[in-house]
Amino acid sequence: MKCPYLTKDSLCTGKYSGYACIKRQCSYFKEAQDCEHHELSGDYCKKYGRFGCVGKDSCETLADYLEAVAEEEYA
């Protein structure tokens, strides 16, 4: 699974900004694993049929989901 918070230089842009990717220890990864809509075989949201799990707190509606995705892209 490709981490959506990993740059081309292998730096983490998520909650561990500035460090190399720590994969399964990452809070974002753990949050995605706890979501009933997350496809375990990859970073896919079954609820909205899109790639990218934004976490349970950000996907109540499609608008919330899209806003969270947009925030991550511009962070």
Q: Which residue has the tokens 């959506």?
A: 4
- pLDDT at site 1: 45
Question: Could you give the CA distance from residue 66 to residue 36 in angstroms, rounded to a whole number?
Answer: 18
Burial 29-64 (b: 16+ CB within 10 A, else e): bebbeebeebeeeebbbeebeeeebbbeebbeeeee
Write the single-letter amino acid at 67: E
pLDDT tens, residue order, the chain (75 aa): 466 677 777 777 766 656 667 766 777 777 777 888 888 766 788 999 988 888 778 889 999 888 888 876 665
